Amino acid sequence: MSRTETYHINDKTMKYMNFAQSRRKHQYLGLPGNFKSRVPQEMIFTDMTSARADELYYNDENLLIDLEEESDYISTKTLEKFSKYSIFNSYWHIKRKLYLAVICHKTPKNRTECFEYAPSVYIHVHYIHLKQDELWKKYENVINKVKHKETLTDTEALDIAFTSKFISKRHAPSVVEKLCEAFKDAKIEDKHLKLDVRVILSGMILKHIKSEIKQNRLMEMIGMRNIENELDELVYEQYGDKLDAKDKEIENKNTIIKNNEKEIKTKDNTIEKYAKLIKKLQAFDDFNTPEARKIINALILLK
């Protein structure tokens, strides 16, 4: 890749990044249960207007979690928007109970709020606020622990990923750069966690670092060049038995298909020979002649 080219993450890595960010963000914020699977975020209302949830996924406790993020203060208009989301999602995911959480960049009035959307419809919102001074403490703690070659806890490893995401935009570029340097030397025992932190951090590089040269340098620093091989290893480590069984199933199906193709080809050849012999036989007025009888015998043998 040329030093003047923008770093492009391939489609497979991008999909994994989105999945990793959703799963690890759920873990980092301490939301209920364990992340299970993402679901479509698009919504179309009865007036034919559309909207898109920020994050929408199932956990393992039969909850549908709508995780929104708001950069401004929560207003009545914001709550009305959340209410429409909640009504739509409750209808489309009727077998799941809804949990609505909102990451607030501005300090909310309370940790939760019950909003009256209609006389018989109330929406319960759970607010999450990450204070800037607390984020700076997490940042400094990670930098110091890496400097002293100490092993990071799982939460501290995730601080590398999410401090860069939630820190103020004004400081984000310098914070991302420093966290990339820290990640390069960080001791993270869980290799799956380390992979997830790497791909989330790569997203922050592309979001906050404008210089293409610096993007490339930071991507190389955190080891994004070898990410595809690591993803393949991770997939086979977790799902190897299922994938091997699937490969065997595909191999067996391919064998059956090839055998069927051979059988069809053989039948086609037989039909072609049969047609040629019939055509020759039609040229005879008397089927009792030696040559005609010879063709008839050949036809009998083809059967």
CA distances from 226 to 161, 181, 182, 219 (A): 19, 17, 19, 10
Write down the pLDDT at residue 239.
46
Asked if residue 60 has pLDDT above 90, the reply is: yes
- The stretch 168-183 carries a mean pLDDT of 94
Asked if residue 236 has pLDDT above 70, the reply is: no
- What does pLDDT average to over the chain? 85
Write down the pLDDT at residue 279.
73
Return the HEC string of the chain. CCCCCCCCCCHHHHHHHHHHHHHHHHHHHCCCCCEEEECCCEEECCCCCEEECCEEEEECCCEEEEEEEECCCCCHHHHHHHHHHHHHHHHHCCCCEEEEEEEECCCCCCCEEEEEEECCEEEEEEEEECCHHHHHHHHHHHHHHHHCCCECCHHHHHHHHHHHHHCCCCCHHHHHHHHHHHHHHCECCCHHHHHHHHHHHHHHHHHHCCCHHHHHHHHHHCCHHHHHHHHHHHHHHHHHHHHHHHHHHHHHHHHHHHHHHHHHHHHHHHHHHHHHHHHHHCCCCCCCCHHHHHHHHHHHHHC
For residue range 72-83, list pLDDT tens digits in order.
999 999 999 999
- The stretch 126-150 carries a mean pLDDT of 96
Asked if residue 171 has pLDDT above 70, the reply is: yes
The pair of three-digit structure tokens given for residue 145, joined into one six-digit string: 């622990």
- The stretch 203-218 carries a mean pLDDT of 91
The answer to whether the CB of 71 falls within 8 A of the CB of 105 is yes
Asked if residue 150 has pLDDT above 80, the reply is: yes
Asked if residue 281 has pLDDT above 70, the reply is: no
Write down the pLDDT at residue 260.
75
For residue range 242-262, list pLDDT tens digits in order.
445 555 666 676 777 777 777
Asked if residue 166 has pLDDT above 60, the reply is: yes
Residue 301 or residue 155, greater confidence: 155
Write down the pLDDT at residue 237.
56
Position 84, amino acid: K
Asked if residue 227 has pLDDT above 90, the reply is: no
For residue range 16-49, list pLDDT tens digits in order.
888 889 999 999 999 999 999 999 999 999 888 9
Contacts of 237 (CB under 8 A, 6+ apart): none
Asked if residue 145 has pLDDT above 60, the reply is: yes
